[in-house]
Amino acid sequence: MHAARLHEYTDDMSDALSIDEVDRPSAERSDDVIVEVSGAGWCQTDNHIIEGMWTEYAPQELPMTLGHENAGIVTEVGEEVTLVSEGDPVICHPVQTCGICRPCRLGEDMYCENSDFNGLTTDGGFAEYLKTNERAVIPLPDGVDPTEIAPHADAGITAYHAAKRAVRELNPGDMAVVIGIGGLGHIGLQCLQAMSAADVVAVDVKDEALELADQLDADHTVNSSDEDLPSVVADLTDGEGAQQVLDFVGRDETTAYAPEIVAAGGDHHVIGYGGHIHEPCQALVNGEFSFKGTLVGRYAELQELVALVDRDLVELHTDRYELAEINTVAERLEHGEIEGRAVVTPP
């Protein structure tokens, strides 16, 4: 089969991955599931993997097939698999968990001590077929297109995970700020609206992104290259600040907003990454606010997100590309030229 493989780390996205002929995976373990890939979302994390940013956080052996946002049709199952059968459409949680370590027993499957992460520590879905396991697949409802929903496997669940945590702290009439209305941010905005009665402020530096936020019924939009975001938030909240901030950019300049825009006792959720947090301890003590990191989400949360998609409460804005265009996608995302999500389809 054909697969897009990373052979060496590089900053040059123009030829980062090569299309190789590799063996098609087969079910070897009793819980294995083989999925014919219908769609695989391209994520900013894929760019970071190519650049080698994850080497000190996750073991990687090159060459490796990238792609951690996958959905498709089951073609083969291990002898003990009962959740799905051949022909079933599924979305694949990127993390294959063991189910028996203490984090798994506590329901914190993202902290599994024996996990494999498709496209990060083991081969992913930029290929014709993907090998995963029964604990990672979620059957899709009738009428849900596996190609269209694929990016929810990581982008969607990550945005949902952050929004769900924020919603726990939001009362009706509170304010939430969403920074970055891109591939993840436009999902997070919709999740906040679906699960809370908070006012949502959408922030970006691109007018196209803010137009998308308007289409998604954000309560307020702010172009932070033209307007002073702390002043706008102060005016909208009578100086109190936003109870929850979801930062889908994660650069130095966006994390620096926290002391000025987060309400006392609130949270600044860091979802995008690449920057740093440079705040004096006194700023956190004075405002008693918190920075919270976000890493994908639980299997059960992906089930919940699929339910929102099935109810038409969350929709993806996607562009489709063929596997042969894989490096074009990488370049376009690197230059900020993709609104919404890119979905790679196999040959």
Output DSSP code: residue 233: H
Residue 36 has pLDDT above 90, yes or no: yes
Q: Residue 269, CB half-sphere, CA atoms under 13 Å: how many?
A: 28
Q: Identify the CATH number of the domain in which residue 18 sits.
A: 3.90.180.10
| Contact by Cβ (8 Å): 176, 241 | no
In this structure, the answer to whether residues 131 and 267 fall within a common structural domain is no
The values of phi and psi at residue 162, to 5°, are -65, -45
In this structure, the answer to whether residues 266 and 334 fall within a common structural domain is no
In this structure, the answer to whether residues 241 and 98 fall within a common structural domain is no
In this structure, the answer to whether residues 127 and 192 fall within a common structural domain is no
In this structure, the answer to whether residues 140 and 11 fall within a common structural domain is yes
Whether the link from the prior residue into 63 is cis, omega within 30° of 0, is yes
CB atoms within 10 A of CB 329: 25
Q: How many domains does the chain have?
A: 2
Query: Which secondary structure element, helix H or strand E, spans residue 222, and what is its range?
Result: strand 220-223
In this structure, the answer to whether residues 172 and 41 fall within a common structural domain is no
In this structure, the answer to whether residues 53 and 144 fall within a common structural domain is yes
Domain residue limits at 25: 2-154+296-345
More confident residue, 40 or 182: 40
Single out the residue of 27, 13, 21, 111 nearest to residue 65, CA to CA: 21
Confidence category of residue 338, pLDDT binned at 50, 70, 90 = confident
Confidence category of residue 299, pLDDT binned at 50, 70, 90 = very high
In this structure, the answer to whether residues 114 and 230 fall within a common structural domain is no
Q: Identity (one letter) of the amino acid at 345? A: T
Single out the residue of 127, 9, 153 nearest to residue 68, CA to CA: 153
Q: What is the pLDDT of residues 141-168, one digit of tens each?
A: 999 999 999 999 999 999 999 999 999 9
In this structure, the answer to whether residues 104 and 149 fall within a common structural domain is yes
Single out the residue of 147, 161, 215 nearest to residue 186, CA to CA: 215
Task: Report helix, strand or coil for 247.
Answer: strand
pTM for this predicted structure:
0.92
Q: Identify the CATH number of the domain in which residue 273 sits.
A: 3.40.50.720
The values of phi and psi at residue 209, to 5°, are -65, -40
In this structure, the answer to whether residues 138 and 171 fall within a common structural domain is no
| Three-point CA angle 195, 339, 244, nearest 5° | 35
In this structure, the answer to whether residues 222 and 324 fall within a common structural domain is no
Confidence category of residue 317, pLDDT binned at 50, 70, 90 = confident
Q: What is the pLDDT of residues 247-278, one digit of tens each?
A: 999 999 999 999 999 999 999 999 998 899 99
**In sequence order, what are the beta bridge partners of 242?**
262
In this structure, the answer to whether residues 206 and 116 fall within a common structural domain is no
Please name the residue that has the structure tokens 């003990």: 80
**Spatial separation of the C-alpha atoms in residues 319 and 309, rounded to whole Å:** 18
| Three-point CA angle 260, 212, 330, nearest 5° | 90
Joined tokens for residue 264: 């006392």
